[in-house]
Amino acid sequence: MNNTKLKERLNGKAESALATVKNYVALNGNSLEIIRENLKNQPLSLSLFDIVKSPSGGSTVFSVPTISGEEAERSLTGIILDYSMPRAYWETPEPVEGTPPVCFSADSITSHDGKACAACPFNDYGSRDGESNAKACKESVVIFLLRENSIMPFVVCVPASSKRNFQRYLTRLIGQMIPVSGVITRITLEKKTSKTGQPYAAFNFEATEELSPEEAASARAFGRQFSEIMSADGVPATSAS
């Protein structure tokens, strides 16, 4: 399916055609067996993943880890295998990197000690400093993005300022009865300015191709089995970075 036809479908204007995605090697062959063999049945901790974070200063370029070092990329394209929406609270707005939070949640619904996040005062807008209207409890989105020619997804950390953009993207896909793992997603950055005049990078999400039913089923199966290999050692948002 070309980009125009997909956009028409996402806007409810046309039926989809099937796309062929040949370069996603993880969806073919014995990818999971290779992962298990190399790990020797050890859990795959999130700390071992290559992580792409939000750039500072409103930069619109991602810094992507590779085997030859960091590379600059204007966009990230791949299949979203899975995602989570964690949150964490530190007593100081700018904690030292690596500092564990006072409280955290893996799903932004229930805290680690069983309390409802919605009822927490640190979930209120303006609870951080009263000026930025930000919440004291830091929200984020953690995306597992599978790219071409790789059987290991990247972890893409989306900040709270772009969480709504991701949720809107999910809602548009839901409206067309398309699972998030059933499309190829492109993530780009757009320079914005906060209410306090600080520049930041906003994440934008766009579906560029729809997978065939067979490919979508393979992506779901791979994502499900991949999750089973992973440990529950926490998410990137549970330590200051």
Q: What's the number of domains the chain is made of? A: 1
CA dist., res. 84 & res. 146, Å (int): 15
Token pair of 72 as six digits: 């600059």
Percent of the chain with pLDDT over 70: 85
pLDDT by residue (tens digit) across 34-82?
A: 888 888 877 777 777 889 988 988 899 999 998 888 999 999 999 999 9
Mean pLDDT, residues 154-163: 92
**Residue 239 included in any domain:** no
Asked if residue 200 belongs to a domain, the reply is yes
The answer as to whether 66 is a domain residue is: yes
Is residue 48 a part of any domain in this protein? yes
d(CA 239, CA 234): 9
What pLDDT is stored for residue 6 in this prediction? 61
How many Å apart are CA 133 and CA 2, to the nearest integer?
A: 41
pLDDT in tens, 185-194: 999 999 999 8
Residue 172 counted as domain residue:
yes
Please give the C-alpha separations between residue 36 and each of 44, 45, 175, 228, 230, in angstroms, as whole numbers.
9, 13, 37, 11, 10
pLDDT at 1: 47
pLDDT at 88 over 60: yes
As separate numbers, helices (DSSP H) first and strands (DSSP E) second, the chain gives 4, 10
Structural domain contains residue 57: yes
Range of the domain at 41: 3-81+144-233
In one letter, which amino acid is 53?
A: K
